[in-house]
Amino acid sequence: MRARTAVALLLVAAGVVLLALFLRPWLDTFLVARVTARADAHIKAAKQAQYPGRASSQKPDVAKAVEEYRLAIDDAPGNIEAHRGFISATRSLHFSRSSSVRGLPAGSLARTISIAGQTELLAFYQALERRYPKEPVVQWALGQVVAHDKTRAEAYYRRAVTLDPGFAPGYYQLALLAERVDDRPRLRTLFRKAAEADPSNAEYAYRVATSIDVADPVAFERAMNDILTRLPKNQYAPFILGAAAGRTANARDRIRLLERQHREYPDPGRATSLFHAYLAVDPDKAVALGRTILSNLAVDPDKAKAPGRTILANASESWVAPMWTPLLACGEALVESRRLAGERKFREARGLLDTTTAKWPCDLTPLHLARARIDLGDGEPGRAVDRLIDVVARQRTAELEAALHEYGANAGRTKEGIEDEVWRRRMNAAQSMADFRLARLDGAGDVRLADYRGQVVLVNFWYPG
């Protein structure tokens, strides 16, 4: 009897074990889904607290956002969105509480923002690392916290991809670090690894395409077409088309790509590139485009929404219409000056362009070239050359330079003599740069422009680092 009971108990236990093994995948899926849903709810609450929206009467509560993001991390330590939000909100909270940020120079202010809450964040993530030593997202987050220290950040990102060779955000951050030191081969490799690890991420695919060498247009076009085929409605698609247009030297191909961008991803701000492409080869098309866009813009949101009209409902969008007004004026002036020149009314054509060339944001190259053609048609090649020398001394482009030397040769001027005159006028117009002091990126003190007196200095305030 006892033996039978023991056997029965063993059979029951074995059945329970088998049932547990059979149900485990479903139980695991259920538990993960439940934890993920809880974390997502906390992230949603954090976003609502930090960015309640203009229609809401609720004031932003960054402290609550920080707490909600922390709860999301507790539920799902591998949720990268929770970590990204937690770091950003914590820095915003500490920065807003700082009383020592007013009056700081731009470089110091940016650095203060980037390290706000540094002590608290570092302590939080070091404790989290001890709890989850095998979690790559925690290593990624530590890299974000110490991003101002390239060496330490790189070590954390490397550990993240070592823990998980398929962790795309780690490769992406390593690629950005390579970009800071302009290591082109390495950043291309790392962007490619990120894209291979996460083929659905349009940003990674976009960075792979734009990292391809300009000298390899075939590879770039292949990468561009791959993105547009696999991810046709991603947010980077219009930028891919714009980048492709910018890389082609053929005016007809450039227009074709920009027309596709305008047709498939219409945006009045981006359409300025198509306007300028038209302006260089067919000003009538540029004028038609400008008139169409301006007729489709309504700055007043209270106006009736007629079919096809774009309503600019807030101040951040209302810059578009004021931008297109001078653009259209440039195009109309170019078209009219051509008509006047065709009727040999050179003085009127010249006067029209002289009153137009100061209007931003029009690309003035077609107008400068039209002005030179008018001078030449009026029998004054010397005036055309002199005007182009002034223009090239201020704004040197391949197109303007080629025109200058062509007109110069027709006027009996040598290339060397023209170049000497360009540099003479450029140096006469040069002004001394005011001295300034900025914090070094590596934190090792400050740097002054005066330290480099007598040397050639490239000042680029928008460098990725």
Comparing 102 with 408, the larger pLDDT belongs to 408
Amino acid present at 464: P
Mean pLDDT in residue range 3-27 = 59
**This prediction's pTM:** 0.69
Q: What is the pLDDT of residue 244?
A: 87
- Confidence tier at 106 by pLDDT (50, 70, 90): very low
Strands 446-448, 437-439: parallel, antiparallel or unpaired by DSSP? Answer: antiparallel
Question: Model confidence over 314-345: pLDDT tens digits?
Answer: 434 567 778 898 899 999 999 999 999 999 99
pLDDT tens-digit readout, 252-285: 999 999 999 999 889 898 999 999 999 999 999 9
pLDDT confidence tier of residue 410, bands split at 50, 70 and 90: confident
288, pLDDT greater than 80: yes
Q: Is the pLDDT of residue 225 over 90?
A: no
pLDDT tens digit string along 176-222?
Answer: 999 988 888 999 999 999 999 999 998 999 899 888 877 787 888 88
pLDDT tens-digit profile of 149-169? 899 999 999 999 999 999 999
> Are 43 and 82 in contact, with CB atoms under 8 Å apart?
yes
How much is the mean pLDDT over the chain? 83
- Evaluate if residue 416 carries a pLDDT over 90: yes
